[in-house]
Structure 1
Amino acid sequence: MSTNVADLVLEGSQHQQETTPVDESLKPKLGSDRKIGPVSYMFMWIGDGVNLGNMTLGASLIAAGVATLNLFQTFVAAILAIGIISVVFALNDRFGYRTGIPYVVQLRMSFGIKGSIISSFLRGVPAIVWYGFQSWVGATALNEIVKVLSSGSFDSIPICFVILQAVQIVLSLYGFHAIKWVEMLASVVILLALIYVFGILLNSHSTAISEHWVNAKGTWGLPFFAFIMVFLGNYAAIFLSAADYSRELKSGISDKKRSMLYFLPIFIAYGFVLTIGAMMAAATGISNPVKAFAVIVDNPYITVGVSAFIVIGAVAVNMVANIVPPAYVISLVTKLKYKPSVIITGLLALCSFPWILVQDSSAKGLNMFILMYSAFLGPIVAIMLVEYYILRKQEVNTKELYLEDGAFQGYNPSAILAMLIGAGAAFLLVEMGWIIGFTVAGTAYLLLSKFAFKGSSFKKDTIFE
């Protein structure tokens, strides 16, 4: 049976001694509390996509003046990846959209109340690290702006880092209302700047771009599929916690329309930013977008302009991807309210040693960190989808997710074992890790749920009861 959100809230008082204590922010969000409309939702994803990291992804297609993929191959790979992202996003956001329940509580359905803590940390910890990383990059750019404006009298990245982090913490205290306006402003400003750069590239560097990228031979082999996996990897953490975003979206939007709310902004943001990154690398032979910008746009204020782009992009990415998910995890584990959890998230990001991660000597270790945590993200989302769509046929007693002694108490060994099996398989071929982990874990979870751990309470109300 499926439980209505309003019924869950109304009946909550009847289960005061049985429910797990959670902050108000983790309880189901009713329709009247949902403030994000379709347009704002799209701008939120555009703002998340137009950042320096995605531009670097496009630039990575050109190595030593040789393109691994040509223009046609790049766009085929991009459209395939964006299509997969949109479908997975819409599938995994449905539970949160229908019930108003956040990701950390949704995880209880598959992993159990205690088991969900483990899987939620696999989403929260990397987000905190990236929060600090993006903030340090933004602080570096902010320092360049202040240094230029002060004629060199000010030069302190740590001070800029603390200031930028304080600004982001204050903004995030206002929740998705602040995120909506930050993302709309960021997406408009950055897109206008990119359109200007795009025009310069077409007018002054079209020959080099055509020679080094558009008409390159490229390949349809492993690099083509690896590029798709990188695309998916960039969004893996975000569509894993899709419920955190969809529960803020106003009700009455169909599944198909929500799919387009993901596809269109991701296509616009990723497609445009990736294209400019590849064009600049082809035109200049420089893979670093910041340095390539300085060559493309010969303007005395280029340092300020590029730096402003980086600062706005860093804040935009953090507001969407790196603040809300770990704040929910902290609230779940510590029983703190949302605002203290947001402050703790920001302070933890300050302590993540991002000044070490941005160094060239740390690149190898950072890549290893990315591979280690992303190997678990594909398996977790596969387990969640199998649970909701196959085992439970989209019928969930949502009251049970908040009951200490209900069907979801403790750990679900099938989910934890399937996650480990999928992650192990992902490490066998890291270039295709996400899809391998996703497929293996989903299959393993289905088989383990059917044949293993007889009498498990997690079989209740499933097709294997």
Structure 2
Amino acid sequence: MKFPRPHLRVAQSQSAFADGKSRWTNLDLDPVPRAGRLWGPLSFVSYWISDAFNAATWQFASSIIAVGLSWRESIAVVALSFFIISFVIAANGAVGAIYHIPFPVIARASWGFWGSYIAIISRSILAIFWFAIQNVNGANAVKAMIGAIWPSFLTMRNAIPEDQGIETNTMIAYLVFFIVQFPFLCIHPNKARWLFIAKSVIVPAAWIAILVWAFVAEGSGPIFEQKPTASGSQYSWVFLASMTSVLGNYATLSVNQSDFSRYSRVSPKWQLLYIPLLPIIFTFISFIGIVASSAGWSRYNTPTIPWDPIVLISHWSSRAARFFAAFSFALASLGVNISANSISAANDLMALLPEFVNLRRGQIICALLSWALVPWKILESAGNFLNFMSAYAIFLGPIAAIMLWDFWLIKKRKYDTLALYQPSMPTYRFDSGGLLLNWRAVVAFLVGVGPSLPGLIHSVNEEIDVGVGIHPYQFGWLLGFVGTSLVYVALSMLFPCVECLVERAVYADEVYEERERVVDGVELGFEGDVARVQEGSGKEKGLV
């Protein structure tokens, strides 16, 4: 039996999108053909349930309580934040469902080919960070699982210096989780949806059982009687900062939902399901976190609220209960790492190096890079966790705004799919010569991010006093989204890019069909494909 020889370069598509243009696409970056669109309503619902049930969502409200708000304000922050971001996720996700292209390609329509790298690199950094953080959450869960079977594992002698922020047994668990997770990084999204379906059944059942335990054990505990410790202007800033942290958690999916919606076989209108679905699901999970943390605080008389669920279940006397509860958190971390992080990072890395990176290689590279981020230090405290969430939200809010308004308002939902892969065509060159960059998007992005930079600097080094400059950073996602929206729309209307405003949309199916068309018994070459599609060969289909 002969095995194919490994090659440094990845396989290139033979479609009109990639012929002779390997610098800008490969087989995995090309639009998803009809045969590859396997995601239906069940896939999307299970995807979001799977994505929501993870340790970070559990920790949202309980960590907000830890920094000064009551349970009521914490629940309100989570519900309001996801209500806001659900509109952005649905709007940007619809683009992928319509054109079946991923986020890095969609970004070219508003940023230009080279300009899109600003959005791509910003998104990829956060996706890799989140992958690393979920690895730590998964490692802690695996540590609890092993400890339930082998109790002495939890008291193993630590051979790692204390200043490294991780112990030997946790590092072993990290390695175990990493090794178990690795094969899932090689699974295509069309097959990974079965993982999401399985997780959307197993993990909710386990967490609802924990909720029942919390009410039975302590009647939900004393947190429901606790008053907020923040007051006055501090209360307002803590509220806004907490909103930014929650928004930051799903800021990646507000821009890259198309990485999954591109596999949709149903109407783009299904993306509207996110608007009622996301606030309900995420708020419910955060409520479970509050009730369980409160019950644990009361029942086990811990000095602080056990906002980390693994810390909570470590107090349980039943080893079987600890094992299965920890398993649910390990599965939660694994699932969300695939659904929200590794595939997103892989698409970004593909866009940067399409000749050498495909979807599988991109996920593996993401996993390897995550080791360099020492994510266990980010999760040392509730304050650090929230600071990290706030940090990158200030970059992704403006990116999400540019993409949303570009498609729905400026371009009036009309993109030329072929031109998004061909920089030689004038459509998305933005009159920038060889720069291939939309200066309107860059200016709007800088305006949206700029006010939050002093606060970001202070969060990195608290010795740098920025005075009131810290406040814009505390609601950086909202400020960046609104500010960038206003500037980008204004610049695009005052200085319109006429070439970008196509008369009718050009869909991927038209290009694929044109490629297969035979005229006088001879298949069209690439130049013929472009000409026929641009002449409007899809008009007979009633496409707009």
TM category (shorter chain) comes to 0.7 to 0.9
- Secondary structure of residue in 2 paired with 1:62: helix
Shift of 1:196: 1.4
The amino acid across from 1:42 in the alignment is V
Give the counterpart of 1:58 among 34, 58, 61. Answer: 61
**Structure 1 residues 429 and 287 mapped into 2: Cα distance closer, same or farther (>3 Å)?**
farther
- Per-residue CA deviation, residues 33-92 of structure 1 (Å, 9 max, x unaligned), is 11122112111111111111111112124349xx72454x55554443333222212111
Give the counterpart of 2:482 among 429, 439, 450. Answer: 439
What residue is the counterpart of 2:542 in the other structure? none
What residue is the counterpart of 1:28 in the other structure? 31
Shift of 1:416: 1.2
- Secondary structure of residue in 2 paired with 1:101: coil
Give the counterpart of 2:178 among 165, 183, 186. Answer: 165
Contact persistence 1:449–1:459 (CA under 8 A): no
**Distance in 1 separating the partners of 2:191 and 2:14:** 32
Shift of 1:306: 3.9
**Structure 1 residues 148 and 401 mapped into 2: Cα distance closer, same or farther (>3 Å)?**
same
What residue is the counterpart of 2:409 in the other structure? 390
Matched, 1:333 2:352: yes
**Distance in 1 separating the partners of 2:201 and 2:18:** 47
Contact persistence 1:386–1:446 (CA under 8 A): yes
**Distance in 1 separating the partners of 2:66 and 2:175:** 36
- Per-residue CA deviation, residues 66-120 of structure 1 (Å, 9 max, x unaligned), is x72454x555544433332222121111111001010000000011111111210
Contact persistence 2:78–2:286 (CA under 8 A): no
Deviates more, 1:123-132 or 1:159-168: 159-168
What residue is the counterpart of 2:449 in the other structure? 423
Shift of 1:230: 3.3
Alignment of 1:319-358 (within 5 A): 319-335=338-354, 336-358=357-379
**Distance in 1 separating the partners of 2:418 and 2:268:** 24
What residue is the counterpart of 1:380 in the other structure? 399
Say which structure is richer in helix.
1
Give the counterpart of 2:248 among 213, 216, 233. Answer: 233
Shift of 1:17: 4.2
- What's the % identity of the aligned pairs? 23
Contact persistence 1:426–1:433 (CA under 8 A): yes
Contact persistence 1:286–1:292 (CA under 8 A): no
Contact persistence 1:171–1:178 (CA under 8 A): no
**Structure 1 residues 47 and 450 mapped into 2: Cα distance closer, same or farther (>3 Å)?**
same
Contact persistence 2:144–2:314 (CA under 8 A): no
Higher relative contact order (CA 8 A, sep 6+): 1
Matched, 1:201 2:214: yes
**Structure 1 residues 40 and 218 mapped into 2: Cα distance closer, same or farther (>3 Å)?**
farther
**Distance in 2 separating the partners of 1:363 and 1:208:** 23
**Distance in 1 separating the partners of 2:187 and 2:489:** 40
- Per-residue CA deviation, residues 115-158 of structure 1 (Å, 9 max, x unaligned), is 11121010111111221221133123313322442453686443
Shift of 1:28: 0.8
Deviates more, 1:132-141 or 1:11-20: 11-20
**Structure 1 residues 210 and 138 mapped into 2: Cα distance closer, same or farther (>3 Å)?**
closer
Shift of 1:292: 3.1
- Secondary structure of residue in 1 paired with 2:28: helix
**Structure 1 residues 229 and 182 mapped into 2: Cα distance closer, same or farther (>3 Å)?**
same
**Structure 1 residues 74 and 56 mapped into 2: Cα distance closer, same or farther (>3 Å)?**
closer
Contact persistence 2:220–2:291 (CA under 8 A): no
Contact persistence 1:48–1:320 (CA under 8 A): yes
**Distance in 2 separating the partners of 1:191 and 1:14:** 42
What residue is the counterpart of 2:508 in the other structure? none
- Secondary structure of residue in 2 paired with 1:396: coil
What residue is the counterpart of 1:111 in the other structure? 111
Matched, 1:290 2:310: yes
**Distance in 1 separating the partners of 2:502 and 2:406:** 11
**Distance in 2 separating the partners of 1:247 and 1:438:** 24
Contact persistence 1:145–1:307 (CA under 8 A): yes
Contact persistence 2:245–2:390 (CA under 8 A): no
Contact persistence 1:357–1:363 (CA under 8 A): no
- Per-residue CA deviation, residues 324-372 of structure 1 (Å, 9 max, x unaligned), is 1110111121122222222222222233333444445x964x7555433
What residue is the counterpart of 2:199 in the other structure? 186
Alignment of 1:174-323 (within 5 A): 174-206=187-219, 208-209=221-222, 211-212=224-225, 221-251=236-266, 253-255=267-269, 257-261=270-274, 263-264=276-277, 266-283=278-295, 284=297, 286-288=305-307, 289-295=309-315, 297-323=316-342
**Structure 1 residues 182 and 208 mapped into 2: Cα distance closer, same or farther (>3 Å)?**
same
The amino acid across from 1:419 in the alignment is F
**Residues matched between the structures, number:** 441
Deviates more, 1:104-113 or 1:12-21: 12-21
Contact persistence 2:18–2:25 (CA under 8 A): no
TM-score, with length taken from structure 2:
0.73
**Structure 1 residues 167 and 263 mapped into 2: Cα distance closer, same or farther (>3 Å)?**
farther
**Structure 1 residues 372 and 310 mapped into 2: Cα distance closer, same or farther (>3 Å)?**
same
Contact persistence 2:17–2:422 (CA under 8 A): no
TM-score, with length taken from structure 1:
0.84
Contact persistence 2:211–2:292 (CA under 8 A): no
Shift of 1:200: 2.2
Shift of 1:222: 5.0
Shift of 1:278: 1.4
What residue is the counterpart of 2:69 in the other structure? 68
The amino acid across from 1:122 in the alignment is S
What residue is the counterpart of 2:91 in the other structure? 91
Contact persistence 1:93–1:246 (CA under 8 A): yes
> Which ranges of structure 2 fall in alignment gaps of 5 or more residues?
1-12, 157-167, 298-303, 430-435, 454-470, 504-544
Shift of 1:282: 3.2
- Secondary structure of residue in 1 paired with 2:418: helix
Shift of 1:166: 3.3
Shift of 1:321: 0.8
